[in-house]
Amino acid sequence: MLGLFVVKGLNVGVSFLMVPLALGYLDQTRYGIWITLYGIFNWFSLFDIGLGNGLRNRLTEALANKDLFKAKVLISTTYAALILIFAALFAVFAIINNFLDWTILLNTPTSFREELNLLAAFVFFFFCMRFAAQLVTSVALAKQDPALSQTLELIGRIMALAGVFLLTIYTEGSILYLGVVLTAVPVFTVILLSIILYLKKYRDICPSIKLIRFKELNNVLNLGLKFFIIQIAAIIFYQTNNFIIAQLFGPSEVTSFDISFQYFGIATIGFMTILIPYWSAITDAFTRGDIVWIKNVVKNLKLIWIGLLGLVIALYLLSDFLVDLWLGGKIEVQKDLYFVMGLYVLVNAFNAIYSQFLNGVGKVMIQFYIALSLAIIHIPLAIFFSQHFGIKGMLFSTIGFGVITIFIYNLQYKKILNGTAKGIWNK
């Protein structure tokens, strides 16, 4: 966890450096276009159908039982499945992209048409590569090496930051150049580092073509499909918001929303950094029947959440000063948006405590139904609230849902640990 804080701190620093650098390279409107397009392509992360998270749990169980052969089979099979899925997905997209008009989808001037279509092809290709390449992070988490998993991401971001810096020196503002650098550089970095890891540190569980067993995929998919629906809700919230804002208010307002989201990301990242190791650790403890340790962990995490509350309040009170210091007064964000974003962060963080436990023990059916419900109602509610309350209304439905799910997850948590969970409470 100490290693995680160092790595996450550096990750935050790189992210905060990236925003003013990218804004200086592009303008507010072009930056908003890029953020919206990037968000749309993140929707396609759903097509891993939860394989990454499913592998994380099943691999942790195999390692807890010291079954290295099964671990290698699980890893090899999951890599093969993801490569096949995303190769087919890119082939379909390459055909469809010829008929899409991204200027209409992103509400931009027609002069962007050629650049956006070319950008979409390049970026989607590297997105597809990324989802197979980053499977090594699930392996690292299952091995309870969370700091290492985040280090891979950090190195990729640093390389991308260097690439953007070079763009500012040698080229003029181009969404195409920026998009290629921000998607291609991290992918190739992770691929190279993965090869090194499997040859050295993870040599005992190195994947092999000979160990691909698609019949074992059911073992990962059984749990992975539940995570898949949960991912849909997350993607719908995180990625459709920018698209809706672009349509209702224009691309420039996407930048304001994104700045607010990234600003409070300081608090979110700090808290989630603490949570990251516990998913796989809880899987390991639950497999071995160590219930007392799990109860103590959840109790301590709730105490840490109180510290998060203080941090969010401080960030809200200092928001105008700190954002001006960060971006040099280039962007103005409404104070009430900061307030609602801070409230969203607090509700989401408290829910994450229970989600981490439920994910770790693999009892995610209730999360599945809640996520499915949110996926259905979020977009119409987000549009309704945004039309009546402005950009901040985008968060109202998620906050309301989050408050309700806190009580539901708390009840399920108690039932599981007390051994009284039956039916849907134990699935």
Task: Give counts: helices (H), strands (E), the chain.
Answer: 16, 0
In the chain, where are the structural domains located? 2-426
Q: How far apart are CA 323 and CA 325, in angstroms?
A: 5
Q: What is the pLDDT of residue 16?
A: 77
Divide the 427 residues of the chain into consecutive groups of 10 and give the mean pLDDT of each group. Answer: 75 80 79 75 58 79 85 89 85 86 78 81 85 85 82 87 89 83 88 90 89 76 62 65 78 79 84 83 85 92 93 92 80 84 93 90 82 80 86 85 90 90 86
Residues 6 or more apart in contact with residue 104 via CB below 8 angstroms = none
Q: What is the pLDDT of residue 373?
A: 81
- Tokens of residue 90, six digits: 């890119």
Q: What is the pLDDT of residue 231?
A: 66
Q: What is the pLDDT of residue 105?
A: 76
Q: How far apart are CA 254 and CA 245, in angstroms?
A: 6
Q: How far apart are CA 360 and CA 285, in angstroms?
A: 9
Q: How far apart are CA 212 and CA 198, in angstroms?
A: 16
Which pTM value belongs to this model?
0.64
Listed residue (69, 53, 26) closest to 229, CA to CA:
53
Neighbours of 250 (CB within 10 A): 14
- Tokens of residue 112, six digits: 């962007």
Encoded amino acid at 302, one letter? K
Q: What is the pLDDT of residue 406?
A: 92
Instruction: Give buried/exposed letters for 75-86 (b at 16+ CB in 10 A, else e).
Output: bbbbbbbbbebb
Q: How far apart are CA 245 and CA 155, in angstroms?
A: 32
Q: What is the pLDDT of residue 263?
A: 87
